[in-house]
Amino acid sequence: MSKKNHVDIISEDNAKPFQPPKIFKEKALVNDEKPYREAEKDRLAFWAKKADNLQWSKKWEQVLDDSNPPYFKWFVNGKLNVSANCLDRHVENGLSDKKAILFEGEEGDTISLTYAKLLKEVNKFCNVLSDLGVARGDAVTIWMPMIPEAVVAMLACTRIGAVHSVVFGGFSPDALKDRILDSRSKLLVTADGANRKGKVLPMKGMAEEALQLCPSIEKVVIVERAGSDYEVTEGRDLLWKDLMKNADENFSPAEMDAEDPLFILYSSGTTGKPKGILHTTAGYLVGVNTTHRYVFDHHEDDIYWCTADIGWVTGHSYIVYGPLSNGSTVFIYEGTPDYPNRDRFWELIEKYKITVFYTAPTAIRSFMRWGNHFPAGHDLSSLRLLGSVGEPINPEAWLWYHEHIGKTKCPIVDTWWQTETGMIMITPLPGLTPLKPGSATKAFPGIDVDVVDDQGYSTGPGQRGFLVIKTPWPAMLRTLYEDHERYEHTYWKQYPGLYFTGDGAWKDSDGYLWIMGRVDDVLNVSGHRIGTMEVESALVDHQSVAEAAVIGKVHEIKGHAITAFVTLKEGVDGSEELLKELKTHVGKKIGAIARPEEIFFTYELPKTRSGKIMRRLLRDIAEQRDLGDVTTLMDPQVVKAIKNNYSDK
Ligand code: WTA
């Protein structure tokens, strides 16, 4: 169904697509249309076949039960264990000595764990958990730095059948408290401290602030990582190393039902209360196993590095469950890209001979801003594939990534997905899909996405609309933890029968999808819809600009006036002249309608700890509202600086 909407036609991107390099294509797992054809013919048969890649203790009876929407069940009555799929079966299949985890700490300390060793550690921690009274179905909160013990703790939960709730290590004690209370966790796994840019963040001390208000927590297990002092509550606080010392190295994996809860992961919504996104066992594992294999073109000798934190869904799906269920070697780094120097990541790629590198556009834009000489000083020739996730990647950043990191020989997989989807949903397949910088290209085989207008009709090429998912997919969230009503309301009420992603998008005439960002980031200027991302991309296209955030400031006549906050490249001064030049530049790139009304220069943009620009705060500043809670920001000082600067104008 298509409904004409004249206002919204936008121009095509006519740039010539990048074809997969010949050598890459020849060795790629997928280099023809077969998976798309199979999935088009019979979507459920496609997923059933993918489920055969896992090890089941009892085969499922039905692929999908969709009799009670929006509550779906996948692989009905199948039984399996996630940790057994990530560990035991590889050990049984001769991969005992293969490296599962290669770890490097901020100070250069290293750990490497083979699959056999990782299995032993997980088994030991299962016995520890079990002795501490954690049983099937109990919730366990994990609040840890990026260290191998975090992965061990997650896998041990899945082996016992406990439900983990990993909270990002950079969150505030208050945020930790809310998440513990909501999940009613019995046990907290944490660390004494985390190393961050040469300093120590006293995690246990901070956790204590939360624990005072969390009566459900019976025991706290502490990994000693950073040599930070902390107080011990006798009878409650226990040391990881003491508990693990004499723990038995064997533990039988619990036989879990396909639909048993696997984990809760909290994500921000439109209200203040975070949403507890609930994922279950089999569908999730089938989804991340398949997408990791195809999207990252899994090869046995890969050294795979996803730079996300374990506390985000990207860490869950593409550091832990996807790659380990495929028997991959996963590299984990504790620190940030700019400590001790701004070439830390490139140094690590060179040292570990990383082959697949998956990071976020915001990081890529920082790398661009720091300068080409940092990556140029290292041998990055081991890389064969690059990935991007988390927000739309502007073509300028894409091209820079392609040239300066991939040396034009690595395909880039721009992967669109959400905490809710669990798995990658829109993505190129690197040995097959011609790439257009800035487009996440097409839906993964077996996934039905569409772009619809406000009435729910499919839009035509070049028409802006809303991104929806038309049929259930294996790794979909099953509900919001203990809040079915919010689950139904947030995702299924907008367009009955369709899952609403909250993102704006459009399709070009080749059927390529272009994501415009969250719908609340789409502006309405004089009756025209403009994605904040489009304006940002135009600004970043200017040689002086490193990064830009655009918001719509409420405007009496136009609806919204475009206001831009811009960070300049090192060494560039923010003159009046440049301000005018930038406005003209945007006008030139998109049209007069998109010319920002106001531009402010700032040394940094306010970002959440996962690197997302907090546009809401910028809107509040521009509209001179109270800023409310800024504790989830990476650097709260940034907001103060912008605010002062703004009120000086
Ligand atoms: C955005 C992260 C454009 C999008 C995995 C989505 C993207 C939200 C992309 C989910 C991409 C993620 N291109 N936008 N490749 N990937 N997004 O839950 O707005 O942290 O709805 O999951 O990030 O963010 P979340």
**Cα distance between residue 586 and residue 539, in whole Å:** 6
Q: Which of 317, 416, 612, 613 to mutate to test the pocket of ligand 1 (most atoms within 8 A of CB)?
A: 416
Neighbours of 53 (CB within 10 A): 14
**514 inside domain:** no
Q: Whose CA is nearest to atom 23 of ligand 1?
A: 390
Neighbours of 225 (CB within 10 A): 22
Backbone angles phi, psi at 44, to 5 degrees: -70, -35
503 lines ligand 1 (CB under 6 A): yes
Give the pLDDT score at 632: 62
Alpha carbon of 507 to ligand 1 centroid (Å): 17
Together in a domain, 410 and 544:
no
Together in a domain, 301 and 338:
yes
Q: Whose CA is nearest to atom 22 of ligand 1?
A: 418
415 lines ligand 1 (CB under 6 A): yes
User: Per the structure, how many domains does the chain have?
Assistant: 2
Neighbours of 75 (CB within 10 A): 29
**640 inside domain:** yes
Atom of ligand 1 nearest to the CA of 501: 21
Q: Are 632 and 172 in contact (CB under 8 A)?
A: yes
Give the rounded distance of the alpha carbon of 444 from its chain centre.
17
517 lines ligand 1 (CB under 6 A): yes
Domain limits at 219?
Answer: 22-505
441 lines ligand 1 (CB under 6 A): no
| Sites in the chain below the pLDDT cut of 50 | 1-7, 270-272
**Cα distance between residue 94 and residue 116, in whole Å:** 10
449-452, strands of its sheet edge to edge? 449-452, 465-469, 499-507, 513-518
β-pair partners for 465: 505
**Cα distance between residue 366 and residue 613, in whole Å:** 13
Q: Are 207 and 143 in contact (CB under 8 A)?
A: yes
**Cα distance between residue 15 and residue 116, in whole Å:** 49
Strand 71-76 and strand 275-280: the pairing is unpaired
531 lines ligand 1 (CB under 6 A): no
515 lines ligand 1 (CB under 6 A): yes
Neighbours of 230 (CB within 10 A): 18
Tokens representing residue 369 in the block: 């801003």
Together in a domain, 497 and 372:
yes
Alpha carbon of 249 to ligand 1 centroid (Å): 39
Any idea of the CA torsion for 234, 240, 246, 248, to the nearest 10 degrees? 120
**Cα distance between residue 256 and residue 136, in whole Å:** 9
Together in a domain, 159 and 55:
yes
- In single-letter form, the type of residue at position 548 comes to A
β-pair partners for 278: 264, 479
Residue 21: DSSP 8-state: P
Give the pLDDT score at 4: 37
267 lines ligand 1 (CB under 6 A): yes
Give the pLDDT score at 519: 75
Together in a domain, 179 and 299:
yes
Cβ neighbors of 635 (< 8 A, separation 6 or more) are 604, 606, 607
Neighbours of 569 (CB within 10 A): 15
Alpha carbon of 566 to ligand 1 centroid (Å): 22
Together in a domain, 579 and 487:
no
Q: Whose CA is nearest to atom 8 of ligand 1?
A: 418
Give the pLDDT score at 1: 36
Q: pTM score, two decimals?
A: 0.86
Together in a domain, 294 and 384:
yes
**5 inside domain:** no
Which residue, 451, 472, 505, sits at the end of a domain?
Answer: 505
**69 inside domain:** yes
Which residue, 473, 505, 537, sits at the end of a domain?
Answer: 505
Tokens representing residue 22 in the block: 């010949």
Give the pLDDT score at 11: 52
Atom of ligand 1 nearest to the CA of 515: 3
CATH of the domain at 615: 3.30.300.30
**347 inside domain:** yes
Together in a domain, 411 and 548:
no
Q: Are 176 and 167 in contact (CB under 8 A)?
A: yes
Alpha carbon of 308 to ligand 1 centroid (Å): 13
Give the pLDDT score at 642: 74
CATH of the domain at 500: 3.40.50.12780
Alpha carbon of 266 to ligand 1 centroid (Å): 15
**634 inside domain:** yes
Q: Which of 264, 389, 425 to mutate to test the pocket of ligand 1 (most atoms within 8 A of CB)?
A: 389
Together in a domain, 490 and 544:
no
414 lines ligand 1 (CB under 6 A): yes
Together in a domain, 171 and 213:
yes
Q: Which of 291, 394, 418, 516 to mutate to test the pocket of ligand 1 (most atoms within 8 A of CB)?
A: 418
Backbone angles phi, psi at 339, to 5 degrees: -130, 135
Alpha carbon of 183 to ligand 1 centroid (Å): 24
Give the pLDDT score at 80: 98
Atom of ligand 1 nearest to the CA of 393: 13
Q: Are 138 and 157 in contact (CB under 8 A)?
A: no
609 lines ligand 1 (CB under 6 A): no
Q: Whose CA is nearest to atom 3 of ligand 1?
A: 392
β-pair partners for 416: 426
Alpha carbon of 421 to ligand 1 centroid (Å): 10
Together in a domain, 427 and 551:
no
Which residue, 447, 476, 505, sits at the end of a domain?
Answer: 505
81 lines ligand 1 (CB under 6 A): no
Cβ neighbors of 648 (< 8 A, separation 6 or more) are none
Can you state the angle between helices 615-622 and 636-648, rounded to 10 degrees? 30
Question: What is the chain's Cα-based Rg?
Answer: 24
**249 inside domain:** yes
Q: Are 198 and 339 in contact (CB under 8 A)?
A: yes
Q: Where are the beta strands (DSSP E) in 202-355?
A: 219-223, 237-239, 256-257, 261-267, 275-280, 303-306, 329-333
Give 289's Cβ-side CA count (13 Å radius).
23
**14 inside domain:** no
361 lines ligand 1 (CB under 6 A): no
Together in a domain, 203 and 266:
yes
**Cα distance between residue 508 and residue 13, in whole Å:** 8
Alpha carbon of 120 to ligand 1 centroid (Å): 35
